[in-house]
Amino acid sequence: MKSFLNQLDPLSRRQFAMRTAKTALGVSLLPFGAGSRAMAAEGAGFGKAKHVIFLYMSGGMTHIDTFDPKDGSTKSPKAPIKTKADGIDRIGGYLPKLAEQAKKMTIVRSMTSKTGVHEAGSYIMKTGYEPRGTIIHPSMGAWASHFQGRIKGVMLPDSVTVGGGGGHPGAGFFPPSLSPVPISSAEAGLQNIRPSSGDDVFQKRVSLMNEFDSGFRNKFKSEDVKAYTEFYEETMKLLKSEDLKAFDISQESAETKAKYGPGFGAGCLLARRLVEHGVRFVEVNLGGWDMHNTIDTAMDRNGNTLDTGFAALLQDLEDKGLLESTLVCLGSEFGRTPDINENDGRDHYPSAYSTVFAGAGIKGGYVHGSTDKDGRKVADKQATPSDFQATIGHAMGLPVDEVVMSPSNRPFTVGDKGNPILDIFA
């Protein structure tokens, strides 16, 4: 058996190690890893975001019914409401709590994309790159781990996704150790983190695995083997760490949980707990935005969910002194048609849509760019998904113009040469 293992190539060895860990140890291991590179601060807002919470609106969020309301023939079924920010005149009528929080937000009303297809649109919003069949590009959490390494003294993984389902680009062409840890449900928390056997049996299994692997490690002293050895060692430490309580929102008071609400709101609460415990990048997903039918009914549901969770998150981060070091951003794969269709819904529309930024040096009560009077076209200060990603990277202090070579020896940058939207920083 050992002879067979020693003949495995690195990829086969990696697959075998992961399967062995899951079956022999009875746990699901958490992938996290590090590179290391110190970045010098420069420019507006550069490096202020020590943490990022990315609220992703899956399905194509309607801009006219949320953050770019219009009058006339394309208006929303519900009248817009005034905000408490002088620089943001009004937002969609389904978002009254966010209207109260508008002094903390910048709205980018001039987003445009090249694709109206869900999968491709989601991919470009999470990577800055158009999908290609020959390579997977990294998401922002992986870029940050590559350039900045693990946050010192933090046992938890660098990056987490909440409620995202499959299809996330993850670490892309970076090592799998930089992939985000997926959490399917904030209420359920992190699953399979405790051994299925007693501690004594578990430790015996770990010792047996180490003995089983020692010959391979001594013979193949490559960086891949070293990385996975360190991965298991750090995972064993994490399994015993008190920091895992960060994933348990049941420790929050009933009052706090009620302010956030269930589902997506619980995901926002989990995100706050994770950044509070040192996690660098958290993505929280809210689906249900593919509103081809009955836009008013759909917005009553999703608008309320977004309004409650997002508003509670902004206020909670401010109350805990975390907003100045945490960038909160909201995005979607595209907008929806200004004209309501025959089914009282809106269809896919990449030509114009909105995103939102808050915290980490972002201007409060500010609007960047605009669309025309009907919300059909960008009228001023156009921004793209690549610019959106570059803005997040800039806020985190990443060198967005630095070229990184993939394993296939192809050059890439954060956000595919996008330009950070610098005027949204205070």
**pLDDT at position 209:** 62
Q: pLDDT of 355-404, one tens digit each? A: 999 999 999 999 999 999 999 999 999 999 999 999 999 999 999 999 99
Q: Which residue has the higher pLDDT, 104 or 133?
A: 104
Mean pLDDT of the chain: 86
Beta strands (DSSP E) in 254-352 are: 281-286, 326-332, 335-336, 348-349
**pLDDT at position 23:** 36
| CA–CA separation, 185 and 206 (whole Å) | 29
Per-residue pLDDT averaged across 404-421, rounded? Answer: 96
User: If pLDDT is split at 50, 70 and 90, which confidence band does 189 have?
Assistant: confident
pLDDT for residue 276 is more than 80: yes
Task: Tell me the HSE value of 249 on the side-chain side, using a 13 A CA sphere.
Answer: 28
Range from 6-15, 19-28, 359-368 that averages highest in pLDDT: 359-368
Q: Report which of 376, 380, 377 is spatially closest to residue 367, judged by C-alpha positions.
A: 380
**pLDDT at position 235:** 56
| CA–CA separation, 73 and 79 (whole Å) | 13
Q: Which residue has the higher pLDDT, 180 or 6?
A: 180
**pLDDT at position 369:** 98
Per-residue pLDDT averaged across 256-283, rounded? Answer: 97
| CA–CA separation, 97 and 404 (whole Å) | 42
User: Distances in Å between the alpha carbon of 239 and those of 34, 100, 129, 151?
Assistant: 18, 41, 35, 18
| CB-count burial class (<10 Å; 0-12, 13-18, 19+) for 291 | buried
Q: Report which of 409, 320, 426, 411 is spatially closest to residue 365, judged by C-alpha positions.
A: 426
**pLDDT at position 224:** 58
Residues 6+ apart with CB under 8 A from 10: 220, 222, 224, 225
Residues 6+ apart with CB under 8 A from 54: 140, 281, 282, 283, 284, 329, 330, 331, 392
The domains found in the chain, sorted by start residue, are: 1-30+199-246 (no CATH), 35-189+248-424 (3.40.720.10)
**pLDDT at position 6:** 41
Q: Which residue has the higher pLDDT, 239 or 339?
A: 339
| CA–CA separation, 415 and 329 (whole Å) | 15
User: Distances in Å between the alpha carbon of 53 and those of 118, 167, 181?
Assistant: 22, 19, 14
Q: Report which of 306, 360, 395, 368 is spatially closest to residue 111, judged by C-alpha positions.
A: 368
pLDDT for residue 30 is more than 80: no
Name the residue with tokens 């921004």: 383
Q: Which residue has the higher pLDDT, 165 or 188?
A: 188
Residue percentage of the chain with pLDDT more than 90:
72
Per-residue pLDDT averaged across 23-36, rounded? Answer: 36
Which has the minimum average pLDDT: 39-43, 87-91, 183-187, 301-305? 39-43
Residues 6+ apart with CB under 8 A from 154: 243, 277, 278, 279
**pLDDT at position 203:** 59
| CA–CA separation, 247 and 188 (whole Å) | 9
User: Distances in Å between the alpha carbon of 368 and those of 111, 217, 296, 351, 381?
Assistant: 10, 54, 27, 16, 7
pLDDT for residue 10 is more than 70: no
Token digits of residue 30:
């958490």
Rounded to 10 degrees, the C-alpha dihedral 419/178/138/52 comes to: -40
**pLDDT at position 198:** 59
| CA–CA separation, 65 and 70 (whole Å) | 8
